[in-house]
Chains A and B, each alone.
Chain A
Amino acid sequence: MRITGTMINYYFICQRKLWCFTHHLNFEEGHQNVELGKLIDEASYSREKKQIMIDGTINVDFIQDWKVVHEVKKSRAMEESAEWQVKYYLYFMRERGIEVEKGILDYPKIRKRKEIFLTQKDGNKLKEILDEIKNIAHLEKAPTTINSKICKKCAYYEYCYC
């Protein structure tokens, strides 16, 4: 199973969303927040090298000199999941012999950025997370809804709660 950065991100946000995503149930098209997010990526870094797919698995927003990995986000609301997403990119590339130094989370809207490093401990935790993601993807039924206040902004909200 190919595990993408989005899956790592969803793992921290909502396991039900992760399950739907791994089952190719995608309700994101046309959803305001999702579309806006994509457009902000596009507008922010048009001059730099953009969006490269590595090994047919992870889709990185851009890489500076094969040393620094960038991930663009709309807001800091989901910072933990975004951090792990970047850590996974670092992990994934190092596993394949690419010596990346660090990652950067970019928030063009609020003109902020945050550096991300991958520690030995993070690497071990990622191994566990990857196993758990595989387990969730193989569940027969979707995990239950999380009834959180973040649900209202999610592209899956109507699907989950109708």
Chain B
Amino acid sequence: MESYFLFSSGELRRKDNVVRMTALDGRFKVLKIEVMRDLYLFGKASMNTDCLNYLAQSKIPVHFFNHYGFYTGTFYPKEANVSGNLLIRQVEHYTDFEKRLNIAQEFIQGACYNILKNLKYYRQRGKELDKAINEIQALEKMISRTVTIEELMGIEGNIHRVYYGTWTTIINQEVDFEKRVKRPPDNVVNTLISFLNSLVYTTCLSEIYVSQLNPTISYLHSAGERRFSLSLDIAEIFKPLLTDRIIFSLLNRKVITEKDFSKDSNYFYLKDKGKRKVLEMYNSTLDETVRHKDLKRNVSYRKMMRLECYKLIKHLLGEREYQALRKWW
């Protein structure tokens, strides 16, 4: 299955039994409907309901981004399979506070483990990161002792503050990055984080779509914080493995430099060429595989997202306690 990334502006239409994007200059791209998993729109595309209905019928989610590369939303086709039973359990685990906190803590445990894994990797490569690692390890011990979601979010915020503080050490390029600024991001690193995090979010969403979980009921983030908040929860585990690793790699190998960005009034954003470079790396990283010890087969990052959904389902159905992905390789 393939993802399509459309930057050109033009018209997206159903033609015969495929979807076709025709750019303003007449060039066109045929989107192979049978092998398309999802569709990303970055340019100004116009389309009609005929086209949207056809995409929905083919169960293809469409992710939208604005001119600055900020994620604006997803066209999420009606779910084909739903399990009422599972939905009831999902809700039960949200309304029962103990159960909710339990799952939320596990998401942070997983995320924190993966953050530490990144730091240890760069420590091994000679970066001075001992102090940050110790601080985060101290915070890690507090995760299981939190009694409210707000407190847990506070710990998570502290972990990230220490973690982001190390980035100028990890990144070899001269970058100006002190703290995370989101709306709008104000520099190279913040812009890359925002862009990649939204990609991780959409990929998780595409996997939740086929897993039978309801994407609107989440545990760490409050249900309703965003429309598909479960995706935010699961993305938390994968951000250190995807977003952060890709940023370090893009900047350290100088694939992306300040030249790939543009600034207009308040916005600091990636130019199309920069976006494309990030997406290419992101897309190929998703397909990288590692050996899964229980399944005894190779799994890609994308498959691991699906497996997180499965593990969560097993937890909700009372079969086995959820254990978030901890990078084992």
Inside 8 A of A27's CB, which chain B residues have their CB? 212
How many contacts A-B (CB < 8 Å)? Answer: 47
Closest to A30 in B: B210
CA distance A141 to B314 in the complex (A): 10
* Residue on A nearest B89 in the bound complex, by CB: A23
Q: Which residues of chain B come closer than 8 Å to A95, judged between CB atoms? A: none
Q: How far is the CB of B312 from chain A (nearest CB, A)?
A: 11
Q: Which of A42-50, A123-131, A154-162 has 4 or more CB atoms under 8 Å from chain B?
A: A154-162
Interface string of A134-150 (1 = CB under 8 A from B): 00000011100000000
A24 touching B310 by the CB < 8 A rule? Answer: no
Query: Do A24 and B319 touch across chains, with their CB atoms under 8 A apart?
Result: no
- 14 new A-B contacts at CB < 8 Å, known A24-B83, A30-B1, A159-B310: A23-B85, A24-B81, A24-B85, A24-B212, A26-B83, A140-B318, A141-B317, A158-B295, A159-B313, A159-B314, A161-B294, A162-B307, A162-B310, A162-B311
Contact residues, A7-38 vs B (CB, 8 A): 23-27, 29-30
A11: shortest Cβ distance to chain B, in Å? 19
Q: 23 pairs across A/B with beta carbons < 8 Å?
A: A23-B86, A24-B82, A24-B85, A24-B86, A24-B212, A25-B86, A26-B81, A26-B83, A26-B212, A29-B81, A29-B210, A141-B318, A141-B319, A142-B317, A157-B295, A158-B310, A159-B310, A159-B313, A161-B294, A161-B295, A162-B295, A162-B307, A162-B311
How close is B219's CB to chain A, nearest CB, in angstroms? 19
**How many chain A residues touch the partner (CB < 8 A)?**
15
Of all chain A residues, the one with the shortest Cβ separation from B1 is A30
| B24 interfacial contact with A, CB 8 Å | no
Q: Is B306 an interface residue (CB 8 A)?
A: yes
Tally chain B residues at the interface, Cβ within 8 Å: 23
A158 engages B307 (CB within 8 Å): yes
With contact pairs A24-B83, A29-B80 given, residues A162 and B317 touching in the complex (Cβ less than 8 Å): no
* C-alpha spacing A157/B294, complex, angstroms: 11
